[in-house]
Structure 1
């Protein structure tokens, strides 16, 4: 049976990923600090196949517990508000950049081969044609967008350096 970690599991997208994985027979661990996500989003999760760890992405001990025995990570935990990122850029950078760096470091050390990171169209800026092509040059216009661009680049570097599968 395959196992997954979903960070940001109690959020809108994370909870739907949890539901889909459980429907497909996976065992799932969720990691969420519940700052924006809600336990009620996970009410339908089968308790035999799902465990929620209430913890912060930046806490290495929580990460080590959550990642133990995991095959695939779906990384959706983030500080997501653009206005808050402008108002509090250090917090956004800490959660999104430092948190993702710690996640990737522990995942590599624990032997997780595949990490799927959620990015954002915000990395391309506001003056782009929709739909956006991945070949479009990036032009982040907020600390949030810049943090997402950083995490993409960090994942690419790790994939190349350690021959691991990292997808944004």
Structure 2
């Protein structure tokens, strides 16, 4: 699919991945409508920090993904949808699970209904590696069993199945992309990499973390946004689920050490109980098999392996250490 002559809607455009994706689409010269979460401050989230030439070439739609009427309005003149709007913080899902059902499942249903009604040509639905739970085999293929080990992951499984049902029931042209552990500039401190960088920048002698043994397949945000676009462009991805991962795993402890080496600091790590997931909810191992997305598109990660990972980490370190960026975060508080 050639996106150059398409009107593209990005939901969650004000968020971490969504803002990077929105900027990349605009830079490519595409016509983009950014769906941002309505608020009384008229904030566009991270898009407020985008270069002027990006903001001047965006159509902004402020609304709420949970509102079917607003969603229908946003979708009505669009050809392609990148659906990223979601609640994603796992700790917050433990005490407010209903909000995850409303946003992640019902919000996705609203998008699917509107896409079907308005004959959208392609809908890219965003999943997460968390739907797999702790790996039962590695690397994890798209056929791996799904396991909702947190209310967040359960809500994403529900959204994924809703997307699949619209494809099988109504031929809605849905492709599901399943990113593994995205990291990069602008990510909130609820994620481990920015938490590590900002703590090391402030006081490397007291690094507070949860469990150190789980492994993750980390992916630089530039690779993930490229994957979104490649999945949208490929007709072969309709009706499929594809992993977007680097095919490289590393433990949280080793991630902390890699960041410390790049920042040239000696660290002392303390495990805090409030940062721990409940024992049965912890996902202990994630490692992506990315052969399917490579077969269906021409995507390949540029930040793969340990050297690629360190390159991406250096980009993050440089960004978070910038005083104007660091002041945007409450680095002295645990962010759930």
* Secondary structure in 1 matching 2:160: helix
**Residue 106 (1) aligns with residue 114 (2):** yes
What is the Cα deviation at residue 138 of structure 1? 0.9
- The normalised TM-score by structure 1 is 0.90
Q: Deviations over 1:3-22 (max 9, x none)?
A: 11000001111111111211
- Partner residue, 1:118: 126
Q: Deviations over 1:20-59 (max 9, x none)?
A: 2112221111112168943424445534531121211011
Is the Cα contact below 8 Å between 1:79 and 1:95 reproduced in 2?
yes
Unaligned runs of 5+ residues in structure 2 are 177-336
- The normalised TM-score by structure 2 is 0.47
Spell out the pairing of 1:87-102 with structure 2 (5 A cutoff): 87-102=95-110
**Residue 22 (1) aligns with residue 26 (2):** yes
Spell out the pairing of 1:57-68 with structure 2 (5 A cutoff): 57-68=65-76
**Residue 132 (1) aligns with residue 140 (2):** yes
What is the Cα deviation at residue 111 of structure 1? 1.1
Instruction: Judge which range, 19-28 or 69-78, deviates more.
Output: 19-28
- Give me the CA root mean square deviation: 2.0
The number of residues matched between the two structures is 168
Partner Cα distance (2:34, 2:163) in 1: 21
* Secondary structure in 1 matching 2:29: coil
Larger Rg: 2
**Residue 6 (1) aligns with residue 14 (2):** no
Is the Cα contact below 8 Å between 2:26 and 2:32 reproduced in 1?
yes
Unaligned runs of 5+ residues in structure 1 are none
Instruction: Judge which range, 125-134 or 143-152, deviates more.
Output: 125-134
Q: Which has the higher contact order (CA 8 A, sep 6+)?
A: 1
Is the Cα contact below 8 Å between 1:10 and 1:42 reproduced in 2?
no
* Secondary structure in 1 matching 2:127: coil
* Secondary structure in 1 matching 2:103: helix
Partner Cα distance (1:119, 1:44) in 2: 31
Change (3 A) 1:11 1:127: same
Partner Cα distance (2:124, 2:150) in 1: 23
Partner Cα distance (2:33, 2:158) in 1: 26
Change (3 A) 1:121 1:41: farther
Change (3 A) 1:143 1:50: same
